[in-house]
Amino acid sequence: MSIKTISTKPFSDQKPGTSGLRKSVPTFQEPNYLENFVQSIFDSLEDCQGKTIVLGGDGRYYNRQAIQTILKMAAANGIGRILVGCNGIVSTPAASCLIRENKALGGIILSASHNPGGPKGDFGIKYNIDNGGPAPEKVTSAIFERSKTIDNYKILEAADINLDKPGSFKLGTMDVEVIDAVAPYVKLMQSLFDFDAIKGLLTSGKFSMCMDSLHAVTGPYAKAIFEDCLGAPAGTVKNGVPLEDFGGGHPDPNLVYAHELVEVMFGNNVPNFGAASDGDGDRNMILGSNFFVNPSDSLAVITANAHLVPGYKDGLAGVARSMPTSEAVDRVAKEAGFDCYETPTGWKFFGNLLDANKATICGEESFGTGSNHVREKDGLWAVLFWLNIVAARGESVEEIVKSHWQKYGRNFYSRHDYEEVDAGKAKELMERLRSMTGDLKGVTFGNYEVEYSDDFSYTDPVDGSVAQKQGLRIGFTDGSRIVFRLSGTGTKGATLRVYLESYEPDSSKHGLDTQEALGELIKIADEIAKIREFTGRDKPTVIT
């Protein structure tokens, strides 16, 4: 086995986005595209000689080939030991758990999360640091800088490793351990939640659930947890076999893409509880019978009920949410007397707050919730959290959410996505808005008066790093908000995200339809940003 140094030329487009580098599979299949980025990661690490790293992905098309290449490159770059999931499959939260439990230097996670897969779908790669969380911006910038000048990469000439079952191998001097990535994750969940109470609920004969893994990574984890440990009947986990193309679906747990689950949960005689997770297992959607839980509300309910869950019963240090996430959780924090941090979009911004014990629970409006148990958002963790709350309170999902609104008021909230619009036009729309934001204070639109407008900037309270241009916000005097930002995970054209929020303290109005309650703000958003004009669309692609 010999180490080869292969000369290469830089690609100019390897800048990681909200969560790693995401491109179409054909782009990743271009000669040296994957190798350049992986070598840029190794080159950016201060000292990786002899260290342990974790490797795995969400099982999508190209995962297997990429894993074999990365194993040989890791060996050639002096990594001492690499832990890789069986079949090269590890969910994002499980990878975070493995990095932490094995005190690894970091991990390489192959995922394009909620983006579709297959030969023409998307692929992605990201680096996580030793706390188990996504690399912060200073690390991703270093990787990008390196990718712009790279002229060679190193790879070991060797045969492929058999990843079908657990085992130990050598690649040059590097130890390769193919591991069961499910068991350590299940153990971590058992340490946090009241499995006896949840088992009691799921085997009572009075409660049924449906978990849709959307043919993505959580299938084996969900079967092990819900069916094997918690006694739910076989078949509780639907679409539980990970497929390279997710069965042709879009592994995004929202009302549009998880429509099979929506059909199961809305109607007569439906299960009491429904849940879905995304491609790499870090997102979750929670449904009750005929009831959708908005992810921002989910974060607030989880926070308000954390004392009912063993792993959190001693109280929370604080909470954090991304800026566009609704302020529902802020109200819970205020009442409970702990801090609520507002960060830019993307889990990498929560890492320092979790490490410094400033926040215990974090969440995003994009179906992401998690806690200090790992450093990623965690889909199945959120599902277990909800089941634990339901078991402890003996109420339905709908009752729990409605009584939450009764106590704290309701933050009506919706996100409108305009996917795959012309990138140039989307940029123009944002530039125009940016140039306007300074002058909007005091301006009225219908019943709303602008109180502030800015381009969100964040100074990390732990290390003082600053992230600018994180989304244009327009806040109104009654507390309503409209936020505009461009997605940093899409791979085709641009995706414009418009986030809308208003607060309603009067419980007699909590039953209103969300889009109706936000109707005037929706019109104002279009009036201010000229969305129809710039995007050429008369309605969003996805409304959450």
What residue ranges bind ligand VG1 (CB under 6 A)?
18-19, 113-114, 278, 282-283, 322, 345-347, 364, 366, 368, 487-489, 497
Instruction: Tell me if residue 113 is catalytic.
Output: yes
> Which span sits near Co ion by CB under 5 A: 8-16, 82-90, 155-163, 273-281?
273-281
Q: How many Å apart are CA 241 and CA 179, to the nearest integer?
A: 19
Decide: is 252 part of the binding site for Co ion (CB under 5 A).
Answer: no
Query: Does the CA dihedral 186-190-196-197 come out positive or negative?
Result: negative
Both tokens of residue 204? 């009572």
Both tokens of residue 206? 């009075």
- Minimum CB–partner distance for residue 193 and Co ion (Å): 21
> Which span sits near Co ion by CB under 5 A: 117-125, 278-286, 318-326, 353-361?
278-286
**Of Co ion, ligand VG1, none, which one sits near residue 326, judging by CB under 5 to 8 A according to partner kind?**
none
Tell how strand 52-57 and strand 81-89 pair up. Answer: parallel
- Minimum CB–partner distance for residue 325 and Co ion (Å): 16
Output the CA–CA distances (angstroms, integers) from residue 84 to 122, 358, 496, in the order listed. 22, 32, 36
Comparison of 440 and 483: residue with beta carbon closer to ligand VG1: 483
What letter does residue 353 receive in the DSSP assignment? H
Q: How many Å apart are CA 251 and CA 246, to the nearest integer?
A: 7
Which residues, in sequence order, are bridge partners of residue 171? 174
- What x-and-dash track marks residues 64-103 binding Co ion by CB under 5 A? ----------------------------------------
- Minimum CB–partner distance for residue 277 and ligand VG1 (Å): 9
Comparison of 111 and 289: residue with beta carbon closer to ligand VG1: 111
Decide: is 128 part of the binding site for Co ion (CB under 5 A).
Answer: no
Sheet holding 174-179, edge to edge: 21-24, 122-128, 106-110, 52-57, 81-89, 174-179, 167-171
Query: 194 with 102: CB under 8 angstroms?
Result: no
CA-closest candidate to residue 25, choices 141, 109, 125: 125
- Which amino acid, 152? N
**Of Co ion, ligand VG1, none, which one sits near residue 366, judging by CB under 5 to 8 A according to partner kind?**
ligand VG1
- Minimum CB–partner distance for residue 115 and ligand VG1 (Å): 7
Comparison of 88 and 324: residue with beta carbon closer to ligand VG1: 324
CA-closest candidate to residue 347, choices 541, 253, 488: 488
> Which span sits near Co ion by CB under 5 A: 167-175, 280-288, 289-297, 356-364?
280-288
Decide: is 278 part of the binding site for Co ion (CB under 5 A).
Answer: yes
Comparison of 64 and 415: residue with beta carbon closer to ligand VG1: 415
Query: Does the CA dihedral 348-374-279-67 come out positive or negative?
Result: positive
Tell how strand 466-467 and strand 122-128 pair up. Answer: unpaired
CB-based contacts of 439-443 (< 8 A; 24+ apart in sequence): 440/474
- Which amino acid, 78? G
What letter does residue 126 receive in the DSSP assignment? E
Q: Reduce the secondary structure of 93-107 to three states and give it as a string.
A: HHHHHHHHHCCCCEE
Q: How many Å apart are CA 320 and CA 363, to the nearest integer?
A: 7
Comparison of 279 and 311: residue with beta carbon closer to ligand VG1: 279
Comparison of 176 and 531: residue with beta carbon closer to ligand VG1: 531
- Minimum CB–partner distance for residue 114 and ligand VG1 (Å): 5
**Of ligand VG1, Co ion, none, which one sits near residue 345, judging by CB under 5 to 8 A according to partner kind?**
ligand VG1
Query: 321 with 299: CB under 8 angstroms?
Result: yes
Angle at 328 between CA 407 and CA 366, to 5 degrees: 140
**Of ligand VG1, Co ion, none, which one sits near residue 347, judging by CB under 5 to 8 A according to partner kind?**
ligand VG1
- Minimum CB–partner distance for residue 486 and ligand VG1 (Å): 8
Which residues fall within 8 angstroms of residue 137, CB to CB, at 6 or more apart?
348, 465, 467
Output the CA–CA distances (angstroms, integers) from residue 61 to 125, 216, 502, 528, in the order listed. 13, 11, 41, 41
**Of ligand VG1, Co ion, none, which one sits near residue 43, judging by CB under 5 to 8 A according to partner kind?**
none
Decide: is 280 part of the binding site for Co ion (CB under 5 A).
Answer: yes
Which of 44, 63, 102, 113 lies at the binding interface for Co ion (CB under 5 A)? 113
- Minimum CB–partner distance for residue 415 and ligand VG1 (Å): 8
Residue with tokens 């869950």: 309
Of 91, 113, 213, 366, catalytic: 113
Comparison of 216 and 400: residue with beta carbon closer to ligand VG1: 216
C-beta nearest to ligand VG1: residue: 113
Decide: is 282 part of the binding site for Co ion (CB under 5 A).
Answer: yes
CB neighbour class for 313 (10 Å; exposed up to 12, middle 13-18, buried from 19): exposed
Comparison of 218 and 343: residue with beta carbon closer to Co ion: 218
- Minimum CB–partner distance for residue 490 and ligand VG1 (Å): 6
- Minimum CB–partner distance for residue 78 and Co ion (Å): 30
- Minimum CB–partner distance for residue 364 and ligand VG1 (Å): 4
| Burial call 437-451: b when 16+ CB within 10 Å, e when fewer | beebeeeebeebebb
Comparison of 498 and 528: residue with beta carbon closer to ligand VG1: 498
Decide: is 297 part of the binding site for Co ion (CB under 5 A).
Answer: no
What letter does residue 8 receive in the DSSP assignment? -
**Of ligand VG1, Co ion, none, which one sits near residue 479, judging by CB under 5 to 8 A according to partner kind?**
none
Comparison of 36 and 91: residue with beta carbon closer to Co ion: 91
E strand spans, 199-279: 209-212, 237-238, 273-277
C-beta nearest to Co ion: residue: 113
**Of Co ion, ligand VG1, none, which one sits near residue 488, judging by CB under 5 to 8 A according to partner kind?**
ligand VG1
Decide: is 376 part of the binding site for Co ion (CB under 5 A).
Answer: no
Which residues are catalytically annotated? 113
Where do contacts with Co ion occur on this chain (CB under 5 A)?
113, 278, 280, 282-283
